[in-house]
Every structure is written in C-alpha cells, then in structure tokens.
Amino acid sequence: MTDPNRPSTELPILERSQILIGIAVTAVVLMAIARFIQWLGNVPLWDWQWDSETLLVGVALGLAITVASLTLYYLWPAYRNSAKVYLNMVLEPLVLPDILWLGLLPGLSEELLFRGVLLPALGGGAVAIVISGIGFGFSHMSGKSQWPYAAWASVVGIVFGVAAVVTGNLLVPVIAHIVANLLSSTFWKLTNQTEAGEGA
C-alpha cells in the first residue's frame, strides 16, 4: 500500500530553462488554439473592461482561491501528494523572479482560451462553465496520480467561469488566476527554501 503523504516520482526532473521555455511555448500554443477557435467558429472574445472594481474583485477572488487551495493542501493527503509532485517539477528549478513569468503567462493564455473563447463558443451558460472548467482541469493532468490536482483545477476553472459570467468581464478571472498563481507559487517556493535550509 502506498503512502499518500509520500510524493510520487513519475514526473521528470526538468531544468530551469526547460521550465521557462515550456511555459512560454504552452502560452503561445494556447493563444494560437484560442485564435483558431475564434476564426473557425467566428467566436467573439468574452467581454472585458478594465476598472478599479475589476481589479478588486479579481484580487479578492485570487486570494480566496489561494486560501482554499492551501486549506485543501493541508486537509487532503492525496491532493497534497499530487500538488507536491507537480510543484516540485515546475517550481523547484525556478528562482523567485521567475514566479512572475509563471504567474502572468499561464494566467493570461489559459483564461484567454478557457474563459475568453470556450465560454462564448459553448453558449456562455452553465454547461459552458462546466465544460470549460473541466477542460481547464484536464490541462493540469500531467500523470495518472495527478487526478486530485486536476480535480481541484477543474473546480477552480468552474469558479473562474462563474466569475466571468456573473461579472461579464474576462479580466476578473484573468486577475484572479494571476494572483492565485503568484501567491501560491511564492508561498510554496519560500516554504520549501525554508524547509530545505532547516534540513541542511
């Protein structure tokens, strides 16, 4: 029987340059897919506008998701194991300034595809929110043991979809996504550096 607290080693160990290039290439591919869907179906981009209320709502949602994710991390061993594997692979080789890259590019490109284009392409209703959310979750599935991480990402994707529909503004989930990525990645990086320093 496997220990749910022990991280699996099924994912490869990558170098810093591989991670940064991978993030950039993935962002370009996701944006190209979004543009292709728009062209193929004549799909308009979900409405967006910038104002102070959008910023506040996006930041608040990003903070709430970060707190919920940290709570889940400490309460659900299978999710903790799954997240550790993923975060070890992605964050371990990076230095703190790289976290900005990790926060911005996925936050922009993933929201452009999953909420900006898929939501209107699928009709913008409840079914569209669920399908785009589950698609978002599956995009975070990097191995069979990663299902808890992908399941949580699906929930987050659905929340982002609801935020886009309720506010009518794509920038709310974009800001929330960027904030959640930045906060959780920085927290993980600082915590792991501290633990590594204590263990030395």
In tens, the pLDDT along 30-43 reads: 999 999 999 999 99
Q: Tokens in use for 28?
A: 């370009």
Closest CA to 115 of 54, 64, 49, 177: 177
- The whole-angstrom distance between residue 152's C-alpha and the CA centroid of its chain comes to 10
Which amino acid, residue 135?
Answer: G
In tens, the pLDDT along 139-196 reads: 988 778 889 999 999 999 999 999 999 999 999 999 999 999 999 999 988 887 655 5
Residue 113 has pLDDT above 80, yes or no: yes
In tens, the pLDDT along 45-89 reads: 999 999 999 999 999 999 999 999 999 999 999 999 988 888 888
Q: Tokens in use for 196?
A: 């590594």
